[in-house]
Every structure is written in C-alpha cells, then in structure tokens.
Structure 1
C-alpha cells in the first residue's frame, strides 16, 4: 500500500555572505564537499559494486559470507551517496536517479512476488527485469536473500542489476563533475541544497527507517512490524541507518576540510552546530550498540531511545540551525511516499 505522508521541504536561500566562505584560498565550500564527501562516497559505492560482482561470480550454489559482506558494504556506501544527493537540484536529468536505484518506501507493488515471477519466467535478465524497480538495490536484496541458495539464473540477474547500478553511479559522478562550476558559482543555492538534503534525510531516518518498523511513527503508532524495515531479508537495516548518520557526521562534524558545520559556526551558529554534533554522536553510539548486539527485532526498547534522539536531530536542524543561519526559508508542502 502506498504510504502518503505529508512532509515539509525547505527551499532555502542562504545570504550572499556564504559565498565568501572558502575551504581554502582557492577551494569553494561546495567543491570541498564534493572532493571530500560526495565524490569519495560515489567511488566507494562503485568499488562495492565491483567487489560484489566478483564475489557473486565466484560463488557456486550458495550465497557466501563474502557476498554477505560485499552486499553490506554496498548498502552502507550507497546510503551515504543517497544522503548527500544534491545533483538533481542543478541537473534535471538526474532528479529521479536515486529512485531508480533504490525503491524503499516507493509504490505499492509486491516486489518479492514480481522478482519471483521474473526468475521463474526463464527469460534473460534484460527481458525479465524490464521495470526500473526490478533493477534496484532492493530487487538485488530479494534475489540474494530469499534463501541461501544461489542459482545460475539468480547470479545472472544479480549481475545485470549490478551493471545497471554501476551505470547509474557513473552517470551521477559525471553529472557532479560536469556541474561543478555551476555549483561553485552559486554557493548560496549549493549550501541550501545540502542543508535540505540533511533535513530530508533526518526526517526519513526517524519516521521511515526507525519509527515505522518499531511502531513509533504517527502512522503506525504501537503497531511494530519488522517487515517495514529497509532491509528485512539481509538484516542490513542498521547498516543503512549507520551509514546515513555517518554522512551527516561528514557534513556537520568537525573535519579537516570545510563543511556545513564549519560554515555555520562562522555564521555565528556555534552553539547550534555543537548541539547537532552531540546528537549525531549519540545516535551513532545507539545504532552501533544495536548493530553490535545483532538486534533485528524492532520491538527492542532501545529503538524508542534512538527514535527520541533522531527526533532531537530533526528539531535541531529545522528549528535551531535554520533559524540561526542568515537564511530565508520558503515552506513547501509535498506528498511523500
């Protein structure tokens, strides 16, 4: 069932003073983020795709531990790319690419049944996987984790999906490098894009990825269901959440390069940035504890603590940081899946 959520998106116009803030004398703030966060994460994801391709080709009749690790690495790397994704703001051709690669919380189709029918058809991957959702990382998880067996057909289908994901990643990288000058020219808009991305990501992490499976969101209050988690088959939901928080840490945390946190401090928001950094550290610690304990049951009471921490992060971004920066915020109402 398609979920209709009302979410608030911010279109922020940062004041022109942000344009003068530079990571170094010659490097713009947007270029610093691209060089130190966005592009390295894309390359890490590309490497994860290649490794998973290799491990699948080496497998015989069962999914190996090497495949499990490679898939987990892919999930984590992709989530970091997705969290800071801003190229769609300056390149209309790239707006829908994340949705092509990742179908979590989209649509109402039973992807598991669709992939099963595709495999049973006996058709070549190019024919059977005709829908975009069939070529997503979510479809890949279904193929690899419906059971422990790994047939030749499943290996072929997985390889086709990985090639598709690889092509999307190459498109994303080319788009970022091709639009770098545009991002550098208008620092005000570039910084509004990344701030919007963090606000959107923090909301979805709290409500969708933790709140819904744990029965803590408004829509599913007191009705937990682990099937709503992002990766129920492979048990990589906490890996995904940790990667998202790590991306927030890269953009807001204390780093040896200019990022949004350092810019905000220079704009007089030191108190707000310090608070956000503390909340991110708390969320990361709580997620690490859950992951280290191999928790897959979202009724674990520690998810309630995590949910409250993520709620604080949402407020810290939306209520505190936005107000502390010299910005004009235009509130837009939009439907969310």
Structure 2
C-alpha cells in the first residue's frame, strides 16, 4: 500500500499527461504561456501505462485521474485509457479537462473505458471567459460538455473558480444552469499554484462567500461527512435533491487528514501532495532498467514521507515551484 506516517493510504492516482495547455487562465499562467517540458523529458505512453500498472497491481490504487496541463493535447490519450482499462484489477478512470476538444474525443474515450470527466468552466458569459482564459473558445467548452454527457461519461462534473471582480457574481447562475443540464457543479477556492506567484489570500473568493451567495437563491442541505469520505468537495443537496453542489475549500477548510491521493507528473516525478516542495524521480528508475518491485518501493518511500497537511495558512508556507499546469489537478 501507499501508506504514510499519519495512517493515510493513497488509493487515488492523478496522472499528468502533459504540462501544455491551449488556454491561459489568469489564475494559472501568464498570457504568454510557460516554457513547456521538452519531449524527451516526458514519459512515453508505454512508461505511463507501466507506472499505472505498478500502482494498480502492486500498490492498491483503485482510481486513476488523467490530468494536464490539458490532457486532450496528449496524442496517445485514447490508447493510454484503453490499455489501463485492460489492467487487472481494472481501475476506475476519469479525466480533468478544459473541454475544448472533448466533442471530438468523448465517444472514443467512453468506448475505450473512461468512466467520467471533470470539465473546468468558470463562467457562462463568453466575454468573461475570454478575459479569464485569454482565448475565445467558450462555445467549444459547452459543446464538449454536451458530448461528454451524450457519450455517457457521467456524472459530468463542472469545476468553477470564482475571481473577484470578474465572475464572483455568477455562483447562483452557474448552479441553476448546471441543474438544468444535469451537470454536477463544484466551486474551487483559488489556490496558490499560479505560475506568477501572485496569489493573495485576501483576494480569494472563500467557500463562505460562495455558500452565502447560493443560500440566497437555493435551499442547501449538508450531505454530511459519511457521504463525503475522502472526497475533497463538501457537498450540499440542492432544494431537496436530487441535484448536489460541491465546494472544494482547500484554503479555508483543508481536508488533508483524509487525503488519499498520490500524483505523477508528466516527466515522471512522484508528488505526495499538491503543495509538495520535494519530488521523487521514477523516470530515471524506469529508463535505467529498474524492475517493478524497485519502482514500487521508491513510490512507497515517497508517500511514507508525506506531510500532515499542505500548510497554506502556516507562516512558513512555501508555494511550490511548479504551477498547477505542471503538477496536474
């Protein structure tokens, strides 16, 4: 198992397939973009599948989430999904995406074994989308969402980040729209993972603000800790059900004590936490001919040293050098 000294066991693997993205969201990266990883530094499709196989067959991983950057930019994505779906035991697989290319790939991904998708969408207004992402592609995201739902990649979950002065008034409209379209909406507090290191706590829209805005328009009933389990989102039943809304409050309501995630970057580094400042290199082990057992032991050692929490509120908190786009969500 991937256990740590605090008794947590990781069963959820987040696999970043690329650090590249076709959007330039202001809370993630600068308008000019970033220096992308060189192709030789990226794990190959075979290397990714081998590491997922080790995680599933030797280390107790039951959930695999493919992330980016933007994972739909990875040419071999559909093949990776198909090969991971053939593993025994078979992991449940999901994808976190901006949705732009989803209308072209949803059917193939579903056919090859992907279970569901999370799609980032922060606004219903095309002009605000263009300001937030610096790209005019709002309609493509909506098209991708419908394609995912039609392909059976459900529940389709929407991830929304509210930014002060841009879309901070949209929480009720986003929830009403999600309910009409049978999507599950989750609001995420903006986290200190931007490439610019410009995040300021006082500028962040908090979970409390989001919930106050929603309470003015909907009856929200807490789902409770039992139903939440190790999931990062606190969820509320909306107007008696069946629809739910979630809030991931990584900053103001951290959930580190129940964390069950381990992360693999696109260049083969293991991260025990989204906010980790240290990594363990598995790519070198792969390429030097290490057997599966040795790689599994290195992975276990990396997770054994996982800290008790992210420590965002601590006076000595240090933001990771890698931004979110290079870590994977």
- In the superposition, the TM-score normalised over structure 1's length comes to 0.32
Compare CA radii of gyration and give the structure with the larger one.
Answer: 1
> Which has the larger strand fraction?
2
- In the superposition, the TM-score normalised over structure 2's length comes to 0.32
Q: Which has the higher contact order (CA 8 A, sep 6+)?
A: 1
